[in-house]
Amino acid sequence: MTDTLDTFRHETRAWLEAHCPPEMRQPVRSEKDACWGGRNPDFQPGQKEWMDAMASRGWTVPDWPTAYGGGGLSPAETKILREEMAAIKARNPLNSFGISMLGPALLKYGTEEQKLDYLPKIARGEIRWCQGYSEPNAGSDLASLATSAEDAGDHYIVSGQKVWTSYADKADWIFCLVRTSKESKQGGISFLLFDMASEGVSTRPILLISGYSPFCETFFDNVKVPKSQRVHEENKGWDVAKYLLGHEREMISGMGLASTGGNPLIEGAIATIGLDHDGRLADPLLRAAIAAFEVRSQAFGAMSERFIDELKAGRAHPAQPSMMKYYGTELNKTRHELQMAAGGSDALEWESAASGGGREARAWLRTKANSIEGGTSEVQLNIIAKRILELPA
């Protein structure tokens, strides 16, 4: 067993060394550095080679079954792969809501036909997905959503509006919560998949405080969706939605971790402030704040490892993703506050070449949404209080 794993580690190390392009070993500095794939990809040098190489082994989704484009790796092998990727500072080969959110839900709730149809395309990065959840009047109270899907025989007619749809203007397909019954709030929701190129779909990007528009308003005007594209039973979409939200929270919680490849906070602080003759950061109060943060950040790194191990072994509390989401996003906001303090007025430049077009400032503002999207911090605390601590209603 241990011998087999040692062999796997050696082979993995050699393969990664041979196939990971040098550009893909540089730290991720902005959202543009992430590879999203899709029908209209915007690849930077090295991204496509890296994504394709990993996908050829099923390693964009190492623990999915090989029949669906995965690597078929055991939890122990998956962990080794991640460790070896981290060791060479390899970037994530493919960022995808298909991998982090829809895939796990399809594996649990999809029909065999749906799994064979959608999962391999997700694994290869051929289809970029977006998530149609929030609506103007359904935010924290998501189950009050109103986008309607009327029964029209072998298909539904979908009408309504979604909001905060991440990258809807760049996505190829959407996984979308719709109302199929008004009889029951949570029990009248269904989970549909459809092509964003369908007639009647339109998107309008929302300009955010960061100056970017990663989110859209998405409109559906009598969009025809075949019933074969519904996941799980009609009016049981809330089960799928909740399951998927658990995975979304895991993904967002990962933002609290230091990025692979260097530590921009510490490197940035040393660059602007410098070290004193004892080798300490020359601003003692900022140094103390960073050090206290780093203790929490490294402890949370251990927590993430523990959480994943427990999840794979079926030992995690079902509401534990809420804790991970809460802690990870709050940490990430703190990290960027400290990065702004470390960067000083250099980090305030919004357009200059030196600032990478305001990279630091825009990333800082972007993190403010972390504790809102995917369920606010306050919603997570409610869930922890009720489901884990079992405090009275």
Partner 1 sequence: MPLYLSDDQTALQDTIRDFVAEQAPVSHMRALRDANDATGFSRALWKSFAEMGFTGLLIEEAAGGLGLGHVEAGVVLEEIGRNLSPSPFLTTAVAAVAALKGTAHADRWFPGILAGDTVAALAIDEAAKHRDTIALKAERSGNGFKLSGKKQFVTHGHVADLLIVAARTAGNAEDADGVTLFAIPKGAAGLTAAPERLADASLAARLEFDGVEVDADAVIGEVDHGRSPLDRLLRAGRTGAAAELLGVGGGAMDMTVDYLKQRKQFGTLIGSFQALQHRAAHLYSEMEVARAAVLKAQQLLDAGSEAADSAVSVAKAMTAMATTLSVQEGVQMHGGIGMTDAYDIGFYMKRARVLAEMFGDANFHADKVARAAGY
- Residue 139 has, within 13 A of its CA and on its CB side, a CA count of 10
CB of residue 250 to partner 1, shortest distance in Å = 15
Q: What is the DSSP letter of 124?
A: T
CB of residue 381 to partner 1, shortest distance in Å = 4
384 binds partner 1 (CB under 8 A): yes
275 binds partner 1 (CB under 8 A): yes
The first and second tokens of residue 265, run together, are 């906070």
153 vs 392 by CB, closer to partner 1:
392
Alpha helix positions (H), 205-263:
237-253
CB of residue 45 to partner 1, shortest distance in Å = 30
Q: What are phi and psi of 130, to 5 degrees?
A: -130, 165
Question: Which among 10-18, 43-51, 192-200, 262-270 is the span making contact with partner 1, rule CB under 8 A?
Answer: 262-270
> Contact, 166 vs 123, CB < 8 A?
no
How far apart are alpha carbons 322 and 327 in whole angstroms? Answer: 9
The H or E element that residue 329 is part of is: helix 320-343
226 vs 301 by CB, closer to partner 1:
301
CB of residue 259 to partner 1, shortest distance in Å = 15
199 vs 278 by CB, closer to partner 1:
278
Distances (CA, A) of 322 to 188, 240, 248, 330, 381: 24, 17, 10, 12, 7
Question: Which among 91-99, 165-173, 195-203, 282-290 is the span making contact with partner 1, rule CB under 8 A?
Answer: 282-290
The correct pick among 81, 130, 266, 361 for binding partner 1 (CB under 8 A) is 266
Which are the contacts of 376, defined by CB distance < 8 A and separation ≥ 6? 140
116 vs 292 by CB, closer to partner 1:
292
CB of residue 184 to partner 1, shortest distance in Å = 26
209 binds partner 1 (CB under 8 A): no
327 binds partner 1 (CB under 8 A): yes
381 binds partner 1 (CB under 8 A): yes
How far apart are alpha carbons 367 and 378 in whole angstroms? Answer: 16
385 binds partner 1 (CB under 8 A): yes
Identified catalytic residue from 84, 135, 248, 330: 248
174 vs 341 by CB, closer to partner 1:
341
Tell me if residue 248 is catalytic. Answer: yes
Q: What is the DSSP letter of 275?
A: B
Mind giving me the DSSP string for 134-196? -BTTBSSSGGG---EEEE-SSEEEEEEEEEEEETTTT-SEEEEEEES-SS-SGGGEEEEEEET
284-323 binders of partner 1 (CB under 8 A) = 287-288, 290-292, 294-296, 298-300, 302-303, 305-307, 309-310, 312-313, 315, 323
Q: How many residues does the chain have?
A: 393
The H or E element that residue 119 is part of is: helix 112-123
378 binds partner 1 (CB under 8 A): yes
97 vs 307 by CB, closer to partner 1:
307
CB of residue 385 to partner 1, shortest distance in Å = 4
196 vs 331 by CB, closer to partner 1:
331
Alpha helix positions (H), 20-111:
47-56, 75-87, 97, 103-109
Distances (CA, A) of 324 to 43, 82, 294, 365: 31, 19, 17, 21
The first and second tokens of residue 4, run together, are 């087999």
252 binds partner 1 (CB under 8 A): no
Count residues binding partner 1 (CB under 8 A). 46
CB of residue 349 to partner 1, shortest distance in Å = 24
Annotated active-site positions, please?
248
Using CB under 8 A, list all residues that contact partner 1: 75, 263, 266, 269-270, 275, 279-281, 287-288, 290-292, 294-296, 298-300, 302-303, 305-307, 309-310, 312-313, 315, 323, 326-327, 378, 380-382, 384-386, 388-393
